Amino acid sequence: MERFNNKTVIITGSGRGIGKEIALRFAKEKANVILTSNEKLVHETCKEFNEMELKASSFEADVSDKNSVIELFNFAEKTYGEINISVHNAGVITIAKVEDLTEKEWDFNLDVNTKGVFLCCQQAISKMRASGKGGSIINMASGQARDGFIYTPHYAASKFGVVGLTQSLAKEVAIENININAICPGIIDTDMWTYNDTKWGEILGGYKKGELMNDWVQKNVPMKRVGTGKDVASLVSFLASEDANYITGQTINVDGGLIMS
């Protein structure tokens, strides 16, 4: 399919993992993709895309820094013109018992996961308003925006914040043909989940490397499998398409039935 032919799409946190799969999905549907991350790896990812003859450019940005976000959106506009779709996927997590959780960890999670999404939404809305053509914004929340997990109150708070932010902004800009939705991935096979599996396993005890994730999936996920970046990318591409024009302010799970609400 070529639903996004010549549409300009920004995907934060797209050097690897879920973000890379989202970017690849858009690029294969002929979009102009802006890959962005705070890691130099994003330039290697862009090179991979270009070698596949996909339209992509890369830009290093820190989503928790307003000036960096402004530079990112200006770069995208200068490179490809009007911005049509903005996917705010960059995220971090740390895991600690409540008495060991530091203020630095709290601020780090909220700065990237919540403030970062807000700053990107702010710029995306500004650019879409200026074009007068509307657009689609997709914010990455988490299953922990539905049900907080043990040892991650800061992460859960940051992702619950993404849901509230999405709803509030969606109401503000709906009349301007700007749709804003959020996604809650469940257990997805990424570097982040590998960290989660290791750290939770250490704190809970009794688990060998890789056992916690598999045990959790078998006991709690009706589909009995771990999700993939492609599973998430499929939902993102739908929400960004014309098929979802009458959908805004929603938060949708992609988790194999882990949380049904």
> Which CATH number applies to 8-188+228-254?
3.40.50.720
Residue 138: HSE in the Cβ half-sphere, 13 Å Cα cutoff: 31
Q: For the sheet with 32-37, list strands across it.
A: 56-60, 32-37, 8-12, 85-88, 135-140, 178-185, 251-254
Q: Which of 94-103, 175-184, 186-195, 203-212 has the lowest mean pLDDT?
A: 203-212
Residues designated catalytic:
155
Structure confidence at residue 214 (pLDDT): 83
Structure confidence at residue 201 (pLDDT): 87
Least Cα distance to 122 among 57, 171, 169 occurs for 169
| pLDDT tens figures, 207-259 | 777 788 888 899 999 999 999 999 999 999 999 999 999 999 999 999 999 99
Question: What's the whole-number mean pLDDT along residues 69-96?
Answer: 97
pLDDT above 80 (res 1): no
Q: Looking up tokens 């890379």, which residue turns up?
A: 20
Structure confidence at residue 81 (pLDDT): 93
In 5-114, DSSP assigns E strands to: 8-12, 32-37, 56-60, 85-88
Q: What confidence tier does 193 reach under pLDDT thresholds 50, 70, 90?
A: confident
| pLDDT tens figures, 28-61 | 999 999 999 999 999 999 999 999 999 999 999 9
pLDDT above 90 (res 206): no
Distance from C-alpha of 233 to C-alpha of 215, rounded to nearest angstrom = 25
Residue 151: HSE in the Cβ half-sphere, 13 Å Cα cutoff: 14
Q: What confidence tier does 64 reach under pLDDT thresholds 50, 70, 90?
A: very high
Q: What is the mean pLDDT of the chain?
A: 96
Question: What's the whole-number mean pLDDT along residues 3-20?
Answer: 97
